[in-house]
Amino acid sequence: MNSSALVTSIAGVLAAAAPVLFAVIGETISERAGVLNLSMNGMILLSAMGSFAVALATNSVVLGFLAGAAIGALVSLVVTFASLTLLQSQVAVGFVLAQLCRDLSYFLGNPIMGKVGPRISQVPIPGLERIPVLGTILFRQDVMTYLSFILIVAAWFFIFRTRPGLTLRGVGERPAAAYIRGANVNRLRYLYAAIGGAIAGLAGPIYSLSIKAGWKGTISGLDGIGWIVLSITIFGGWKPFRAAFGAYLFAFLQWLGLVLQPSLPSVPSQVLQVAPFPLMILTLLFVNIGNAEWVDRSLARLPENVRRDIVRVLRAMNATPPAALGVPFEKE
C-alpha cells in the first residue's frame, strides 16, 4: 500500500468511527448519571431507519438527523421511565427494547428498502485541507465527523470541568450524597438519559445518511454495533478520551479485516469480519486485568521495583464504573 492510500485509509477510519463515537459518548453521559441504556443495538438500527425515512420524505438531511436524535432520546426515556418511575430493572427493559427496536426497524423499514435518498457529503475545510497528510486525515471529512472530534473534547470538558458536569458525576456515583447537596436526582437522570440518548441516536443517521447511505434492512450491517458500543463505554472507563480511543481502535480493527482479506485468501471472510469483536473482548480483559485476584496473588512475589511499575500501569488502565449505575434512587 502506498502512502497516499494509507492516509486516505486513516481518514476513512476516523469517519467510520464517528457513529460509534457518538453512541459511546451518549452512553457514557447516560451511564455517568446512573442510567444503563442497554437498548443501544436496536436503538441505532431504529434511528438509522427512521432518520432515513424522514430525510427521504422531506428531502432534508437536517430533519433526518433531528429525527435520529429524537428516536434516541425517546428510546432512552422509555428505559429511564421503566427504571426510575416504575422501578423495573434497567437491564431487563434494555434487553427487551434492544430486540424490539431492531425488529421494529426491519418491519417498518420495508417500504423504504433500497431506495436512494439524500445523504451528506464531505466538506473540505478551505486552507486547512491543504496541510500535507493531516489535511487529508482531519479536514476532508463530513460535518458529523468534524462534530465527532468536537464532541470528544466538549464531553470531556462538560463532565470534568463544569459545575453541572460535577453534579452529573455525583448523581451516578452516590445519589444520596448528591441529593443532600440539593441535586434533584431523578430529574437529572431523566435529563441526562435523554441527552445521552439523543447524542447516541445520531449514530443511526450517520450510517444511513452518510457512511452506509440508505436503508437495506437486515443486510445493513448495523446489527451488533450497539453491543460493541456498550463494551467500548466500559473499556473507555466512562471517560470521553479513552472512549474515543476505543471507538477508533474498533474502527481500525474493522478496516484491518477488510484490508487483510485479499492477502489471506485461505481465511474465510467471515473470520475477518467478526475478528474485531473477540479482539475488543480481549482488550477489555487486558485493560481490567488488575481487578483479578490471581493477578494480585502472582504479583505479590515479584521483586519490589518491577511490581511497583506493573501495579502502577494496571491501576492507570483500570476503570471503575459509576457506583450507582443501574440502581434507582429512592429517598428514605
Partner 1 sequence: MQVEVRGITKCFGAVRANDNISFTVPSSSIEGILGENGAGKSTLMKILSGFYSSDSGDIILDGEKVTIDDPADAIRQGIGMLHQDPLDFPPFKVIDDFILGKKGGLIPNRRAAIREFNELATRFDFSIDPESYVDTLTVGERQQLEILRLLWLGSRVLILDEPTTGISLPQKEKLFATLKKLASEGMTVLFVSHKLEDVEALCNRATVLRQGRLVGTVEPPFDTKVLVEMMFGKEIPQEPKTQLRMGTTVLHAKHVELEGIRIQIKNIDLRVRAGEVIGVAGMEGSGQILFLSACAGLAQPVKGSICLDEDEKDMTGKTYHEFRKKGVVYLPAARLEQALIPGLSLTEHFILSEGMKGLFIDRKKSEELAKSRISLFNIKGRPDSPVESLSGGNQQRALLALMRDPLKLILIEHPTRGLDVESTIYIWGKLKERCARGTAIVFISSDLHEILKYSDRVLVFFAGRVTPPLRASTLTVERLGRLIGGKDWDSIETEVSHA
179 is a site residue for partner 1 (CB under 8 A): yes
Least Cβ distance, residue 173 to partner 1 (angstroms): 5
Quick note: the x/- pattern for partner 1 over 122-161, rule CB under 8 A, is: ---------------------------------------x
CA 37 → CA 4, 28, 65, 208, 312, distances in Å?
Answer: 40, 10, 20, 22, 32
Least Cβ distance, residue 166 to partner 1 (angstroms): 5
Least Cβ distance, residue 177 to partner 1 (angstroms): 4
Residue 54: all three cell numbers together: 424522514
104 is a site residue for partner 1 (CB under 8 A): no
323 is a site residue for partner 1 (CB under 8 A): yes
Distance CA 284, CA 291 (A): 12
Q: By the 8 A CB rule, do 199 and 78 touch?
A: no
Least Cβ distance, residue 199 to partner 1 (angstroms): 19
Least Cβ distance, residue 185 to partner 1 (angstroms): 11
Distance CA 286, CA 324 (A): 24
Q: By the 8 A CB rule, do 56 and 112 touch?
A: yes
Q: Residue 278 or 304: which CB sits closer to partner 1?
A: 304
Pick the binder of partner 1 from 5, 154, 176, 264 (CB under 8 A). 176
Q: By the 8 A CB rule, do 280 and 257 touch?
A: no
Q: By the 8 A CB rule, do 222 and 45 touch?
A: yes
**Cβ count within 10 A of residue 204:** 31
Least Cβ distance, residue 239 to partner 1 (angstroms): 12
Pick the binder of partner 1 from 130, 181, 187, 312 (CB under 8 A). 181
CA 55 → CA 118, 120, 209, 304, 331, distances in Å?
Answer: 7, 11, 8, 62, 44
111 is a site residue for partner 1 (CB under 8 A): no
Pick the binder of partner 1 from 3, 278, 305, 332 (CB under 8 A). 332
Binding site for partner 1 (CB under 8 A): 161-164, 166-167, 169-170, 173-174, 176-183, 296-297, 300-301, 304, 307, 320, 323, 331-332
